[in-house]
Structure formats: C-alpha cells, structure tokens
Amino acid sequence: MKKFNIRKVLDGLKEVSSSTPSPHAGTQENNLLQETLQSEHFQLCKTVRHGFPYQPSSMAFDPVQKILAIGTQNGSLRLFGRPGVECYCQHESGAAVIQLQFLINEGALVSALADDSVHLWNLRQKRPAILHSLKFNKERSSKAHPGPVVHISDNPMDEGKLIIGFEAGIVVFWDLKSKKADYRYTYDEAIHSIAWHHEGKQFICSHSDGTLTIWNLKGTGKPVQTITPHGKQPKDGKKPESCKPILKVEYKTTRAGEPFMILSGGLSYDTVGRRPCLTVMHGKSTAVLEMDYPIVDFLTLCETPYPNDFQEPYAVVVLLEKDLVVIDLAQNGYPIFENPYPLTIHESPVTCCEYFADCSVDLIPALYSVGSRQKRQGYSKKEWPISGGNWGLGTQSYPEIIITGHADGTVKFWDASAIMLQVLYKLKTAKVFEKSRVKEEKATPETMDEDPFAIQIMAWCPDSRMLCVAGVSANVLIYRFSKQEITTEVVQLLEVRLHCELNDMESPDGGGGGDQTPALATPGASPSPQTAGPPTHPSTSSNNSDGGNVPCLKVRSTPLKQSPGYQVELVVQLVWVGGEPPQPITSLALNSSYGLVVFGNSAGLAVVDYLQKTVLLNLGTVELYGSNDPYQRQPRSPRKTRQPSGGLCDINEGSATSEDRCKSPTSVLMSNTNLQQFYNGGGRGARMSRKLSLPTELKPDLVLLSVCPPRGANPLDHRDNSFSRSRSSSVTSIDKEAREAITSFHFAETFARKGDSSLTPCLHVGTSLGSVLAVALNLPPAGEQRLLQPVIVSPSGTLVRLKGSILRMAFLDATGSLVPPAFEPWYEPNALADGEERDRARKRRPVSVSPSPSQELGECQYAVVCSEKQAKVIALPSQNCTFKHSITETSFLLRADVVAMGSGLCVACFCANGHIMTLSLPGLRPLLDVNYLPLTDMRIARTFCFTNLGQAMYLTSPTEIQRITYSQDTCENLQEMLGELFTPVETPEAPNRGFFKGLFGGGAQSLDREELFGETAAGKASRSLAQHIPGQGGMEGMKGAASGVVGDLARARIALDERGQKLGELEERTAAMMASADNFGKHAHEMMLKCKDKKWYQL
C-alpha cells in the first residue's frame, strides 16, 4: 500500500497559495505591467540555409547565368550564385537527385530523381518552385536490351542524332528522325562515361579498367586510340596493367593549343591509401590533383555555352563528398579559387552553437580584422567564377553573430547579418594543451578518445568580448580579446576536485554521519586566497593510473605564442580523484563585471575568480541547500548493499565546513568524492565517458541535462511529470534524487534573500530537479582593491522550485523591462596604459537604484524561470509567484530563451515534440504554438538556439545551418531580403556556320523537337508511360502559402505582385519583339543592297 506523505500535501498547498495571486493583486499587476506583444506579432517560417549540401549526389552549371546547382541524396537542391546569393529547395518525395540539367539562360532547371520522376523548376523567382513533374512507370525490359544506360547526349553538330552508352560496353549512334541506329560500337570493358569532341566527329569513352578509348564516328568499329593515363607501360609492348575505373571524363578543345582531357579515378591499384585524385591532361603534361574527400562529380566551365564551338575551358568545379573545389585551368600549377561560400561549417563536426542578434556594431569589424590575418595564401588571383544573381534589398541592418564549437577544439565566429553567413575568425583551443601521444601507443577502443578537445558549452560576453569554453575533457578555458600579439611564458592553470562521496553509513566501523547537514557559508567566511592552508592533496592527477584510464588533458609547459584575437587567460581543469574521472561539465556562465566564471556538473559547482586566479566556491549540489534540502538525500533503503559498483550512489551531506568550501583550489578537500558513472549505463567501469559520436549522434551522457533522463529510461518517450519525485524506499528512487546536476546559471543584480531592501550582485543556480538557488556575491571595490581583496560568496537558499530541469533564468525590473547583466566594457588588455586609465575602463556598470523606504513593501523586480516543463514569474523581494504556466505535460523542452522582440519581451521555447512556442512576459500568455520540427536527432537538441528580434537557428544536418524566424515583420520582409537567382542576360551569339558549311550541309543542324515528338507526328503519349503532375510553381504556390492572421493582406499583395509580374513580362516581350523586328528589317535592307546588282550564280 502506498504511504501517505504529508510533505507532498503541504508543498502542494503552499504552491497553490503562492502561485495564485488575489484578484486585487492580479489586477494591480496587469495595470502596472502592460504587455505590448500580441499573437499577431509572431509567425514562423524558414529564412535561409547555410553550409555545404549534405550528401551531395549531382551537379549542374548554367554558363550564361553563372549559377551552380547541387542535388543531394535526400532530395534537396542548393543553388549558388555570387557570394551571398544562395537558395534551398526540397523535393517532396525526398528521393535522391541523380541528375540536373539547366535550360541555359531560360531560368529553368530539370531534376531527375531516383524514384523515376522528373521535375521542371522555375528559377525566375526568389523562391524557386516546381512548374511540372513527370512520374514514369517502370517498363519490363526485353532480354535483348543491352542493360543499364550510363550516358545519353546529342551530337554537337546535329541535334537529330543521339549517342547512347550502355554499361556493358556498347555504344549506339541513333537517328531520331529515322528511329534507327546508324552505327554501333563495342568494347570489352564496361563504360562509365562518354564525352564529345566539339566537331561531333569523335567521342571518348572511359572504362572500368582505367583506360580511355577515342572513337571516330564513321570509323571501323575499333577505337582509333587507347590511353591508360596511370598505367605502367610494359617494355615488351604488351597491354598496360589494369587500373581503377575512370568514373568520368570530359574532352574540351581550345583554339590556340592542345585539348584538355579531365578525368576522375583511374589510379593504379598499387597506390594504396592515396587520396582521391582529379587528373588534368593537356598536351604532353599530366597533372594529378589530390582531393581531401571522394569525388562525387565534376564540371568543366567553358567560355561558350554552345557544344559545337571551341570550348576554351577556364575552370573545373569539383564536387566532393564534403567540399566544393574550383580549379583555375588558366594558371600554371592549377591553383584553386578561394571559396567565398560558408561551406566549412563542418570542417570539424559541430558540437554546440550560440546565436547573438543586435549586438554591438564594433564587434564584427574587430573580429574580421584579426580573422583576416588567418587566411591561407596561394589561391588563384582571378575572381570567383560562379557569379550569377543579385543580392536582396533587405532593410534588416542589425549585426548578427553565430559562434560554433567543434570536435577538434576550434571555435568559429560567423557574421550572420542580413541572412548571409561569412566566417570572421577561428580560435584553436587545442593549442593550449600538449599534443596527444596516443597515436604512438596501440590505442584500443577502451582507452581511445577520438575528440579529447571537443567544445561542449560556450559562454560569451559581447560587451567585454570575454569568452569561456568548456571542453569534453572537463576543462574550462577563459579567453580575453586583444589586437596585439603576445607570448605567454606559462599558461595559468587551476585544478579543481569537483566530486561526490559515497555515504558509508553501513560500513563495519560504523562511521556514518548521514544525518549531518553542512553549515551554510556565511558572509565573511571566505578567507583570502593568500591565507589558504597547505595542499592536502597533490595538485596533479598522478593517481589516474589506479583505474588504468586516459588522464585529463595536459596543459602545455612551453611558451605559447598567441596571435591577435582571443588569447587564453586561465585554464581550469577538473582532475581525476582515486581513479575516478571528473563528470562532464553541464553548465557554464561568466560575468565580466564581477570577474567570475562558474561551471557545474552532476557533482556540484565551482566559482572561479579569473582576475585573482582562485577558486572561490567548490560545493556539491546538496550543500547549496544546507539543512533545507527538500529531498533529504540520505540512505533510507535496507537494500543499499545491493547497489552495483557501476551505478549511481548516494551523496554524503556531512562534514565539510564553510571554511573548507571556500579555500583556494590547492587546499580544497571536499567531503563529496567518487560519484560514479553519471547517466552512463554502467558496465564501463571508471573510464571517462566523454567520447562524442559525431557528426550525427551525441551520447546521452553529453547531451544537455534537459535531454538526459535517468539511466534505463527512454530519452524521448518517458519523462517524470510529477513535481515531487518518488519517496519510495527503492534504490532506484534514491539514485534518481541524488542525481541533481547543475543545469543553468544566471548572474544578476537582484535581491539575494526574501525581504531584502537593496540589490546585490547574485548568482542564481538551476538544477536538474527544478530548484533555483541563490548565491550572494560580496565584491570588493573596482580597481586595485578588486585584485587584492577576496570575493565573498555565500549561498542564500532556495528561490523557487519547478517541474523538470531548469533551462533559463532572467530578471525584469518594475516596468517589465529586462535587467541586463552587469558587464565590463572591452579594453585592450596588452596596452601599456597607466593604472588609472585601466581602472576607469574596468569599472562595472552602475547597479540599479535601490528602492526607497516607501517602496520597500512593493515589488521591484520579477524573476523569470523556465524549466523543461513549466515557467514561473516570481515577484521580488517577496518571492511570491505572480504568474505560472504549464508549458507541456507529455513532452519536455530542449531549449528556452528570454528574448527581446521589437516592442517587448517573450520566452521562446523549443519542445522535444517539435513545437515552437512563445510566451508573453511577465504574464506568460501563449502567443505562438507551431508544430515545426519533431526531434529526430540529438544534433538538433544541442544546437537549437533562439536570439533577439525573432531569430533562431539549428544544425539541420552535420554540414548545414538552418535559420528560421518567429517574427511577423521578418516574414513579411523576407521576400525583399532574399537574393535574385535569375537576372536578364543576353545569350552569346551562336558560332558562325560559314558560307560553305551552310551551302553543303555542314555545321550544326538544328531539330524541331516539337515537330518530331509532338502529338501531330508521334501521336498521343501512352498513359501507362508516365503521369503528368502539374506543379505549384511561381505565384500559384505562393497563393496557397498565404494564410494566418495576415492571410488576406498577403493574398492582396501577392495578387498585386502577380499582376505586376505579368505586366512586366508583357512589356519585356513587346520590347523584344520590337527589337527583333527592327533587327530583321535592318538585315533585310542590307541584304537587298548587297544583292541588288548580282546574278544568282554570283551569290
């Protein structure tokens, strides 16, 4: 029978009474705090996608429009013009795009998919759409059929003749008019590709044995030449050795010199381990260009769009599995062009992201100035050849910065303003550490750590430009921004022991102490770092060998040259204790005004003073509660002895004094030691669980704590919905309550305790069990005293408790405006300025004015707290719950941010069930709820982030960033902000046929396809052959998309745009017809004058 628990009842009554304001109080709050944001201010839509197309499969180029199209295996299309002009489209079926073909200079693209469908895209609009689709039905092939077709194209000089290449080695030259084969060619080896000579008299085939065969169109049925580009030629005249298949070949001619033969593959089989290569053969020279990734496709860019003219190749676009390379054929050595697109997001897999909108205007120039020095040399001096389209005319002018953390320890800063993306600066955090020597030893899966430098969490203060990153190896690095180069002789290092201890209540010697509770640290209890006692433990992790595991990273001991940009100020490392690894860091925050960094994990938290290079506070989570721990975590189960060694164990609440907790890092000996395997599934011993399965997965022990369920639970389907966790006596419930990790931090000038009358600097701590605890900070005056006197840190009790892990905290003033955290303005840290100037630069922002005695009973601030289940607004200093909203019962939030919109504040939330929601502040009224994106990958969970002015982003694939907006204003202006892909360009004049070629039938022969394939000549197509599906292209698709609150207005605007577009097209056609008529009349008059006095045989 279930036990009755009076504590639950009392807690529930207290919660109801505190969260339900009286009618008078509620009315008063609403009158005082007018909310300006309404539901009509919100609308959700995708804006732009950046990065390299994930899993590319095909490519095409329009030589007149200068636009590149790339298709992928998941059915998406990416179109690239000049830098800043990009577009993303998606086929509904999601089938792989196997071939792309532009209708040159027509603003149209044909895509063929693996599901036997063909689509015609209209590119004459900012958002391309499908005009028509054909879905083909597979036919049963006869036994006489030669097999799969690998190539089909028309003769450059005669559109009525086709060449068809079969994989089996058969080539057929087919006459479309007579519907029969003119010639057949057979070769022993399988064919992979075919290319024409521009005169249409020769073609070249690439084969599976690494050979190239050149054939005359009207030949003897044998190749006129056989080439093995990478085969060794035997001296006895025998056939060269076989090589790897040549997957594609292109044959391009020039007027002034030898033709180019460009091919992929064909390397010798003895080149084991050699990287994929592109071979360029020009005359007698052969250049082999190594690539970093396998080649998917390549295209040769030529001066003319006509296949029947000298091609004059000038560049090769090479599509690799994870990169896009453009090679300059006109310069010696074939240098590559510098790629202006943001295609290097995945250079190392992305592990975390942060997004900042409307930041200081001087940040982007400062980052660009130091980042421009990092650019590589040796690129082609010519301009980027893919230069089509025009930029949009957006009115969005505020600066936006995206920061990405990567698996190799790099941090990249990106300029994301005006829906573009450009890399600004790259920081390599791995330089701080010694190089790993694991490669020298025989690394086994048990000891190998693939990404020891991976970035897990980032905290950035844009105003002071301070940066703090937490790595997967339980390290925290603090950086300052400087424009000057320095050499750091010794990298400053702090080692912290942050761990918890088993409760030995049932040990044979009877030493328990489980009923004791630690005393709360009081103001003044923190001694000066200079007076700390001698170390009680060695300050190195020499005892790591106990568990036979890989130790934490070792900070380099040699001088470190630091270029302009971010320079390391301090390294903080969690060290191994007793053979047990430190747990991954789950939360991180910094405040430049206070000079403090705080980080936490499943064991507790540590507050570091990076100015004095000391640890101010090192506490287990339980000790923050003091004697008021709501969960009373002490062993109550008689089955405790059955606890497996690899599981989670109880936390001891005893014996650490406030003095012990506040000593310097080398003298801190916490009572809490040996917390084993946090969310680690057991069975892995004490091995440090920090390995990232990248790029698409994240182990549960590294996901944000809001995503991590207790071990054994399904992370998506099962969540604990009750506020009071189970009080049963089972070991599992004790473990669950002991697992209170630190999930969020927030620095603010606020009321530290209930009933306080003045604002003080505070740190608020959120935990995985829904508690928000306050820590008061007593800071010395700014300037020299700040560097000499200690900062006093004192826990101040619990502010509020919510369901689920705490995700976000913020503070509002009495008018409902956001209280920004105090910050220190940026100054040049390496400047040789005198002390007074530096002191003036270091002064903190003034604290908000304290309430007068007449206001002491009123509320001066509001704390906004959002957990993975609900949100609350707490009035301060009374600590009454003013507003409360249950966000979800069946799911849980992955991300929540308090963001500023144009006219107010709101809480933006992303839920694991795919919903994106916004809540008003401070009233927590639902303003937006859209089912947008179900959680299908942990990558989305760890990279999704909101920012100000209605912007958000996430990593939609391992290589691509998807940006979205939830602002109605941005949705309305998006059409203007997007670039134009299609621009009116005159098609170059076709090559002149010449008099004799025209007289005797030479030169290019055109073909009226409508006459040949139209219903008049060929009859109606069989309905069983293919199904025609009309598309929603152009304005028709936009009509259906216009909906919602402003649907009528949007439809009216679309109608006007449609009418304007039709009028514009009519005007363009009229002008073109008039120009054509004038041109025809002019030529006719010239011809009449030329032939006026000539006989017919003189013409």
Residue range 802-826, pLDDT digits in tens: 999 999 999 999 999 999 999 999 9
Does the pLDDT value for residue 440 go beyond 70? Answer: no
pLDDT surpassing 60 at residue 688: no
Round to whole Å and give the CA distance between 514 and 871: 34
Q: Quick check: 965 and 950 in contact, CB under 8 A?
A: yes
d(CA 651, CA 735): 9
Over pLDDT 70: what percentage of the chain? 72
By the 10 Å C-beta count (0-12 exposed, 13-18 middle, 19+ buried), 648 is classed as buried
Task: Compute the distance between CA of residue 122 and CA of residue 1030 in angstroms, rounded to an integer.
Answer: 13
Region at 765 (left for phi over 0; alpha for psi -120 to 50; beta for the rest): beta
Dihedral, 34, 39, 41, 43 alpha carbons, nearest 10: 160
pLDDT, the chain, mean: 78
Residue 412: Cβ within 10 Å count:
21
Which pLDDT belongs to residue 139? 77
Q: What is the mean pLDDT of residues 703-714?
A: 34
For residues 72 and 97, is the Cβ–Cβ distance under 8 A?
Answer: yes
Q: How many CB atoms lie within 10 A of CB 243?
A: 23
Label residue 26 by pLDDT band (50, 70, 90): very low
Q: How does 710-727 read in b/e, with b if 16+ C-beta sit within 10 Å?
A: bbeeebbeebbeebebeb
Max mean pLDDT among 105-109, 495-499, 535-539, 1079-1083 falls in 105-109
The first and second tokens of residue 605, run together, are 């938290």
627 Cβ contact partners less than 8 Å away, ≥ 6 residues apart: 517, 520
Q: Which of 25-29, 195-199, 355-359, 961-965 has the lowest mean pLDDT?
A: 25-29
pLDDT of residue 320: 97
Q: Where are the beta strands (DSSP E) in 803-844?
A: 806-813
- Give 531-595 as a DSSP string: G----SS-SS-GGGGGTT-PPPPPBP-S-EEE-SEEEEEEEEEE--BTTBPPPPP-EEEEETTTT
DSSP 358-415: S--TTHHHHHHHHHGGG--S---SSPPS---SB-------S-EEEEEEETTSEEEEEE
Q: How far does CA 431 lie from the centroid of its chain?
A: 24
Taking residues 120-135, report their average pLDDT.
94
Taking the C-alpha atoms of residue 970 and residue 721, their distance in angstroms, rounded to an integer, is 36
pLDDT digits (tens, 9 = 90+) for 80-120: 999 989 999 999 999 999 999 999 999 999 999 999 999 99
Give the 3-state secondary structure of residue 199. coil
**Is there a contact between 63 and 301 (Cβ–Cβ < 8 Å)?**
yes
The rounded percent of the chain whose pLDDT value lies above 90 is: 56
Query: Quick one: 832 exposed, middle or buried, by C-beta within 10 A (0-12, 13-18, 19+)?
Result: exposed
State the pLDDT at residue 367: 97
Q: pLDDT band at residue 514, thresholds of 50, 70 and 90?
A: very low
Reported pTM: 0.79
Long-range (24+ apart) CB contacts under 8 A made by 115-121 are: 117/93, 119/91, 119/1031, 120/1031, 121/77, 121/89, 121/1033
Are 250 and 261 contacting, i.e. CB atoms less than 8 angstroms apart? yes
Of the given ranges (313-317, 463-467, 793-797), which has the lowest mean pLDDT?
Answer: 793-797
The per-residue pLDDT for range 140-171, each reduced to its tens digit, is 767 778 889 999 999 999 888 999 999 999 99
Helix ranges (H only) for 645-796 are 658-661, 731-738, 784-788
> Which residues are 132's β-sheet partners?
120, 1030
Question: How far apart are alpha carbons 864 and 809 in whole angstroms?
Answer: 6
Q: Using the structure block, give the residue that is written with the tokens 């990558």.
A: 939
Which conformational region is residue 855 in: left (phi greater than 0), alpha (psi within -120 to 50 degrees), or beta?
Answer: alpha
For 1026-1053, how does the pLDDT look when each residue is reduced to its tens digit (9 = 90+)? 888 888 765 544 443 443 434 455 445 5
- What is the rounded distance in angstroms from the CA atom of residue 537 to the CA atom of residue 555? 19
Confidence of residue 12 (pLDDT cuts 50, 70, 90): very low
Structure confidence by residue, pLDDT tens digits, 896-920: 999 999 889 999 999 999 999 999 9
Q: To which residue do tokens 């510098």 refer?
A: 338
Mean pLDDT, residues 274-286 taken together: 92
Tell me the HSE value of 289 on the side-chain side, using a 13 A CA sphere: 24
Rounded to the nearest angstrom, the gap between the alpha carbon of residue 190 and the centroid of all alpha carbons in its chain is 41
What is the pLDDT confidence band of residue 394, given thresholds at 50, 70 and 90? low
d(CA 236, CA 1099): 60
Instruction: Please tell me the distance from the alpha carbon of residue 58 to that of residue 71, in angstroms, as a whole number.
Output: 5
Which pLDDT score, from 0 to 100, does residue 703 have?
Answer: 32
Distance CA 952, CA 963 (A): 6
| CB 143, CB 162: distance < 8 Å | no
Look up residue 561 and give its amino acid: K
Any idea what the Cα angle at residue 644 is, between residues 639 and 650, rounded to 5°? Answer: 65
Q: How many CA atoms lie less than 13 Å away from 149 in the CB half-sphere?
A: 9
What are 852-883's pLDDT values in tens digits? 333 444 578 999 999 999 999 999 999 999 99
Q: How many CB atoms lie within 10 A of CB 78?
A: 23
Q: What is the DSSP letter of 4?
A: P
Specify which residues 73 forms β-bridges with: none
Distances (CA, A) of 506 to 134, 169, 635, 639, 647: 75, 80, 9, 11, 18
CB atoms within 10 A of CB 1099: 9
Give DSSP secondary structure letters for 430-444.
GGGBPPP-GGGS---
Averaged over 11-38, what is the pLDDT? Answer: 51
Q: What is the 3-state secondary structure (H, E, C) of 931-989?
A: ECCCCCCHHHHHHCEEECCCEEEEEEECCEEEEEEEEHHHHHHHHHHCCECCCCCCCCC
Residue recorded with tokens 């009115």: 395
- State pLDDT tens for residues 940-993: 998 999 999 999 999 999 999 999 999 999 999 998 889 999 999 999 988 876
Distance CA 200, CA 120 (A): 28
pLDDT score recorded for residue 553 = 87
pLDDT at 7 exceeding the cut of 50? no
**Cβ proximity of 743 and 706 under 8 Å:** yes
Contact 602, 583 (CB under 8 A): yes
82, amino acid identity = R
Tell me the pLDDT band of 933, cut-offs 50, 70 and 90. Answer: confident
Strands 945-947 vs 926-931: parallel, antiparallel or unpaired: unpaired
Measured distance between the N- and C-terminal CA atoms of the chain, rounded to whole angstroms: 113
Contact 456, 351 (CB under 8 A): yes
- ∠ CA 99-100-106 to the nearest 5 degrees? 160
Which residues neighbour 252 within 8 Å (Cβ) at sequence distance 6 or greater? 259, 260, 262, 300, 302, 311, 312, 313
Task: Report d(CA 966, CA 954) in Å as an integer.
Answer: 14
The residues facing 87 across adjacent strands are 79
- Output 777 or 376, whichever has higher pLDDT: 777
CB 735 within 8 A of CB 648: yes
Angle made by CA atoms 436, 439, 445, in degrees to the nearest 5: 100
Whether residue 423 has pLDDT greater than 90: yes
